[in-house]
Structures are given as structure tokens and as C-alpha cells.
Amino acid sequence: MARVDALVDGIYRICTTVQLPDNTDFQFNQFLIDDERPALIHTGMYGLYEGVRDGVAEVLDPSKLEYVILLHFEADETGGMDRFLEGAQHSTLAGSAMSAILNLSGWNYSGRVEGHTEGEVIDLGKHKLRFLETPHVHHWDSMMLFDETTKSVFPSDLFIQPGDQPPVVTEDLGSMMCDYYREIGIFAHDQPVRDVVDRIEALDPDWIHGMHGGSLGRETIPHFIRALREEPVGYQGKLLGREVVPR
Ligand SMILES: [Fe+2]
Ligand SMILES: [Fe+2]
């Protein structure tokens, strides 16, 4: 079962909370934009498809989706893409040009694909989604989106918060976020992250809608930005909490 919450001006958070093997909660958020051309931003893993689709159906008919947007190629971002596209006849998969080159060609994927580069815009009607290429935060093909209408950043795995979080987080969880990044090891190095943090700050966003945890409003964003600037987040020898010991 996914929980659906209206966030701002036609943007909905479809949240599935799962229990990890260590008995902690972890959230997978997909974002639905209800507009003239409806869009779903990331899909969740293959196994979450029914719940996410039912969440979409609480707001609009999933067969009316026109865009399924992936921000990098990874199971939680893209696992449901085939089925969402199959269920929506006029939909297109949109991602970074790098995702299209690296991951959507040379495999057996045969659906409709658009690969985008920095600054290109998808016009949904009211909402305009601008692509930010953000390589190595955390994959080679990573990108983020900026909705110019609501001044919302969709940063996928940046601004992560583990645990069962409310739809909008107002607490300063910046240090917890950085601790968690060092534990799971998803960024190779601090610098690409800090460069992107500068770019996000320059956009002066009203909202940040991360994939894991709650959305952040204007008053909360600076706490997380400060932590990302001041605390290390790069790989320190751990993957998902496991020490990698060369033998
Ligand atoms: Fe990811
Ligand atoms: Fe993710």
C-alpha cells in the first residue's frame, strides 16, 4: 500500500515504506504531477508497481500518464518503467541523455525514450520541468529536475532521510543525512555533491522533493545545505553499512 499526499500545486508524493533487514523503515517516494500532460517522476522497484499504480489512480487515470521520468538508472528509480509505459499508450520514458546512451540502448528495452541534456525543458502545461545534469551525484548518468512553476527540485537520492518520515520534514536532519551517506557509500566523493548543492542553492527553491524521506520547504532547506557543505558524505569504505575489506 502506498500513501498519497498532495504537496504543492498538483504535485503528489506517493510513498511506500518498507522494512529493511535491520528492522528500520525506509521510504520510496514517487512524485506524480497532475497537469495537462501528467508525469510520474521515478517509478519504484518492479515489486512496488501495483501499489504505486494504485496511488497514481487515486489522483488520475494511470493510462493518461504522458511522461515517466527517470533520474538515474537503478531499480528503485526505474523498476516499474516497462509496466507504466505499457499501461499508458501515449507515454514516453524521459531521462538523461546519458541514461539513454548507457542504459537504455544495448539492452532489450524497446519503449519510447527521450534523452535530455542540461537546460532542456519538458512542458507539462502548467509545470515546466528543467533538466539539470548532475553526473556523479551519485551515478554517471544522474540528473535532477527543477519545476520552474513551483520552484521545486527533484533531487532523487540527494537530501535523503532514512526512517518513517512525514510528507514534509521540518526537523534539521542534516547531520543524520550525512552520517547515513557515509554508512551506505553512494557518493564517490564530496566535490560533485558540493558543486550541485551550490547550483541548487542558486535556484532559490521553495521545495525539495527527495526520493527517500520527506519533502523540505524553504525554511528547512538551509539546514540540509549547510550539512552537505560542512560534513563529509563521500565513500569511506562502507557499502550499505558493510565494511569493504580488500583481501
Ligand atoms: Fe539511486
Ligand atoms: Fe533512490
DSSP line for the chain = --EEEEEETTEEEEEEEEE-TTS-EEEEEEEEE-SSS-EEE----GGGHHHHHHHHHTTS-GGG--EEE-SSSSHHHHTTHHHHHHH-TT-EEEEEHHHHHHTSSSSS--S-EEEE-TT-EEE-SS-EEEEEE-TTSSSTT-EEEEETTTTEEE-TTTT---S---SEE-S--HHHHHHHHHHHT--S-HHHHHHHHHHHHHT--SEE--SSS-EEETTTHHHHHHHHHHS--S--SEETTEE----
Mean pLDDT calculated for residue range 100-119: 91
How far, in Å, is the centroid of ligand 2 from the Cα of 22?
A: 18
Band the pLDDT of 109: cuts 50, 70, 90. confident
Q: What is the mean pLDDT of residues 191-208?
A: 98
**94 pLDDT higher than 90:** yes
Contact in structure between 105 and 93 (CB atoms under 8 Å): no
Work out the number of other CB atoms within 10 angstroms of the CB of residue 89.
10
Task: Give the model confidence (pLDDT) of 147-168 as tens digits.
Answer: 999 999 999 999 999 999 999 9
CA of 42 to the centre of ligand 1 (A): 10
Distance 100 CA to ligand 1 centre (A): 16
The residue whose grid cell reads 532489450 is 108
State the pairing for strand pair 238-239/242-243. Answer: antiparallel
pLDDT of the residue at 150: 98
Q: How far apart are CA 129 and CA 117, in angstroms?
A: 12
Residue percentage of the chain with pLDDT more than 90:
94
Would you state the pLDDT for residue 219? 98
Question: Could you list which residues have their CB under 5 Å from ion ligand 2?
Answer: 76, 157, 211
- What pLDDT is recorded for position 180? 98
- Contacts of 6 by beta carbon, 8 Å cutoff, 6+ apart: 12
What is the pLDDT at residue 106? 83
Predicted confidence (pLDDT) at residue 1 exceeds the cutoff of 90: no
Q: What is the pLDDT of residue 167?
A: 98
- Considering every ligand atom shown, identify the ligand nearest to the alpha carbon of residue 160 and give its number: 2
What's the confidence (pLDDT) of residue 141? 97
Q: Are the C-beta atoms of residues 25 and 163 closer than 8 Å to each other?
A: yes
Centroid of ligand 2 to alpha carbon of 214 (angstroms): 13
Measure the CA angle with vertex 113, ends 152 and 137; round to 5°. Answer: 45
> How far apart are the CA of 42 and the centre of ligand 2, in A?
9
CA 57 to ligand 1 centroid distance, Å: 25
- Assign 12 a pLDDT band (cuts: 50, 70, 90): very high
CA of 232 to the centre of ligand 1 (A): 19
With contact defined as beta carbons under 8 Å apart, do 16 and 31 qualify? no
pLDDT band at 217 (very low <50, low <70, confident <90, very high): very high
For ligand 1, the distance from its centroid to the CA atom of residue 188, given in whole angstroms, is 13
| Confidence label for 108 from pLDDT (cuts 50, 70 and 90) | confident
* Nearest Cα to Cα of residue 121 among 149, 91, 100, 159: 149
Query: Which residue reads 500532460 in cell numbers?
Result: 37
CA of 91 to the centre of ligand 1 (A): 23
Task: Give the integer Cα–Cα distance in Å for 191 and 180.
Answer: 17
For residue 148, report the distance from its CA to the centre of ligand 1, in Å. Answer: 23
Instruction: Give the position of cell 506524480.
Output: 32
**How close is the Cα of 218 to the center of ligand 1, in Å?**
24
If you compute the radius of gyration of the chain from its CA atoms, what whole number of angstroms results?
17
Position 88 scores a pLDDT of 97
Average pLDDT, the chain: 97
